[in-house]
Amino acid sequence: MSRTLVRRAEPIPAPRMDAAGKTAVGLLVLLGLGALAGGIALSVRPDGSVMHMPVSLLAGSPFPDYLVPGLILGGLFGVGSFAVAAMGIGCRRVAPFLAFALGCGQMIWIVVELAVIRSVSVLHPLFFGVGLAIALVSACWGWATFRGWRAAR
């Protein structure tokens, strides 16, 4: 009778709340606060009056006003950032990967927004930088989890 040796994979490590994890969670909370505030302002007054943004900036876009962009901003980047931050605090394995996706998504959001409205405020480079920082630090934060996942395959 021949025996087949089955290699038992190492357990996939959960992300630790080291410096990279704490930084990622802090940046996610910052992004969440800014996105939730902006999303609420745009959704409550879709004419853009709260943020002093005329609807004419949306000319050529698929949106007649700021309601849908406000809901996306507040929902995806506001509530979503808080949810991922909570997952990070709970050391959920998926947290660094979702944080990376949110960081990349935030950078894409800013680039598309600039292409649509063709106007720059101080918040654009600031929140592009926050997205970039989230993507970079979450890659470091989740690297051990990623290596464990690859080894288990």
The model's pLDDT over 74-123, given as tens digits with 9 standing for 90+, comes to 999 999 999 999 999 999 999 999 999 999 999 999 999 999 999 899 99
Phi-psi region of 89 (alpha: psi -120 to 50; beta: other; left: phi over 0): alpha
Q: Which domain holds residue 93?
A: 19-143
Question: pTM (2 decimals)?
Answer: 0.90
Q: Is residue 77 part of a domain?
A: yes
Q: Is residue 133 part of a domain?
A: yes
Q: Is residue 70 part of a domain?
A: yes
Domain count for the chain: 1
d(CA 72, CA 75): 5
Q: Is residue 14 part of a domain?
A: no
Q: What pLDDT, in 10s, does the model give residues 113-151?
A: 999 999 899 999 999 999 999 999 999 999 999 999 998
Q: Is residue 128 part of a domain?
A: yes
